[in-house]
Amino acid sequence: MKTMKITLIPVAIAAVLSFSAMAADTPDMAGMKMDAPKTVAGKTHHGIGVINTVNIKKAKVNITHEAISSLDWPAMTMNFKVTGKQALSSLKPGEKVEFDLSEQPKGQYVITKISPLKH
Ligand SMILES: [Cu+2]
């Protein structure tokens, strides 16, 4: 009977340890998911440009933007995907805008905020 006790106790301890490890994992993983866009990508850059075209259906805008020094980007014309519920219909070609740019995990840059440039 003594031998049974000795073998059962480590099993019980192992079961408790693995259970608490699983319980501890859940909040850690949730925290990692939340932090990922901030640490891996997700840095916000600020740009100024002029709207060329607005594609509301695809949530895309074509912008000729000024140089963005935080990205080491020269001035250029390019398409951007716009995330979130932006009022794209209020943007007009030829309009000067300011926008926030965020790097997504796949290295794509999306506009997270865009509005007419206030003088
Ligand atoms: Cu560009």
CA of 47 relative to ligand 1 center, distance in Å: 9
CA of 6 relative to ligand 1 center, distance in Å: 68
At 53 the three-state DSSP class reads: strand
Provide the pLDDT for residue 106.
82
**Residue 102 burial (CB < 10 Å; 0-12/13-18/19+)?**
middle
Provide the pLDDT for residue 42.
66
Alpha carbon 89 to its chain centroid, in Å, reads 24
Provide the pLDDT for residue 12.
59
Domain ranges of the chain: 1-40, 44-116
Give me the average pLDDT of each 10-residue run along the chain (119 residues). 58 55 46 43 88 94 97 96 82 95 88 88
Q: What is the CATH number assigned to the segment(s) 44-116? A: 2.40.50.320
CA of 65 relative to ligand 1 center, distance in Å: 6
CA of 57 relative to ligand 1 center, distance in Å: 21
Lookup: tokens for 74: 């020269």
Provide the pLDDT for residue 89.
86
Provide the pLDDT for residue 90.
87
